[in-house]
Structures are given as structure tokens and as C-alpha cells.
């Protein structure tokens, strides 16, 4: 676990009105996304439902040809389930919860 404090933990809620194509697109953007992550002001993990600052990222997977990791991992749960606000979305509680449901349960909303 990182020494950084989380910005905020998302509340678990019921199904959000977020379409399946949006969830699929966002889930596909969770790898090889270093540039989008570094441009983000706020990041969120849709497994542990915690929001945090980009400076909290301490592990990157999927190194490029220069050995620089391209996939951010959550500093709290260690998974590659990190999205950032520079990906064209507002990181709401509903969005993080809907992505969690999509990842684990493939629940359509």
C-alpha cells in the first residue's frame, strides 16, 4: 500500500445510467495509458473504488521499448484498473461502481 492518502473512496451504489459501450470503452483504456494518466488531475480505481492523485502511482506495468511502464496500477489494490479524468469522463461514484460491476459481473446498465 502506498504512503499517499486517497482523495476519496467512492460510495457503492446501485446501477448507474451508464451505457455498456461507454463501460467497454473505458475498460479497454486501462492498459497502455501512461499519457492519459499523466495528464489527469484525479485518478480512480474501479476495484477498490478509491480516487487519488497521479503522484500516488508507484508501479507501472507493460514496459515500452525503453523500459518505461505504460500501464498504471492502483497504489491501494495493485490492479490495472485505473482511469483518469483526462480520459474524457468525470470520475463519479456511479461511474466507478458501474465499471466495477462491468468488470466482475458484466452487468449491463
pTM, two decimal places:
0.78
Q: Which residues contact 85 (CB under 8 A, 6 or more apart)?
A: 40, 41, 42, 43, 91
Say what the pLDDT of residue 20 is. Answer: 82
pLDDT tens digit string along 64-94? 999 999 999 999 999 999 999 999 888 999 9
Question: Under the phi-then-psi rule, with left for phi > 0, alpha for psi from -120 to 50, and beta for the rest, what region is 107?
Answer: beta
Amino acid at each position: 500500500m502506498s504512503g499517499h492518502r486517497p482523495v476519496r473512496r467512492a460510495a457503492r451504489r446501485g446501477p448507474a445510467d451508464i451505457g455498456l459501450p461507454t463501460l467497454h470503452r473505458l475498460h479497454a483504456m486501462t492498459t497502455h495509458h501512461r499519457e492519459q494518466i499523466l495528464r489527469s488531475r484525479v485518478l480512480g480505481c474501479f476495484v477498490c473504488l478509491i480516487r487519488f492523485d497521479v503522484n500516488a502511482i508507484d508501479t507501472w506495468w507493460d514496459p515500452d521499448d525503453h523500459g518505461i511502464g505504460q500501464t498504471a496500477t492502483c497504489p491501494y489494490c495493485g490492479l490495472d484498473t485505473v482511469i483518469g479524468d483526462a480520459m474524457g469522463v468525470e470520475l463519479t461514484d456511479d461511474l466507478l461502481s458501474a465499471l466495477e460491476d462491468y468488470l466482475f459481473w458484466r452487468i449491463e446498465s
